[in-house]
Amino acid sequence: MAVANTKEVNVKIYDGANNLVHDQDVSVNGSLGLVYNLSKIVGAPRFEVSSATSTKVVRY
């Protein structure tokens, strides 16, 4: 997932029952890559990445 032209993003991860399991504010300076260990997540996780101008949601 890519969010362009932003300096701050918020990353939320939800489990298969729509419970929030992770919430993180991230400062971005150029490109950024994040890796999450989802081995303890039950069901299909959903990622929500928000910036000041947009929100993107990805389901796996």
Placement of tokens 């949601």 in the chain: 57
Beta strands in the chain (DSSP E): 8-14, 20-27, 46-50, 55-59
> In this structure, are residues 48 and 23 in contact, taking their beta carbons and an 8 Å threshold?
no
Global confidence as pTM: 0.85
Taking the CA of residue 19 as centre, how many other CA atoms within 13 Å lie in the half-sphere pointing to its CB? 8
Residue 22: what pLDDT? 97
Residue 53: what pLDDT? 86
Model pLDDT for residues 2-59, shown as the tens digit of each residue: 666 678 999 999 999 999 999 999 998 888 888 999 999 999 999 999 988 888 898 8
Residue 31: what pLDDT? 81
Residue 13: what pLDDT? 97
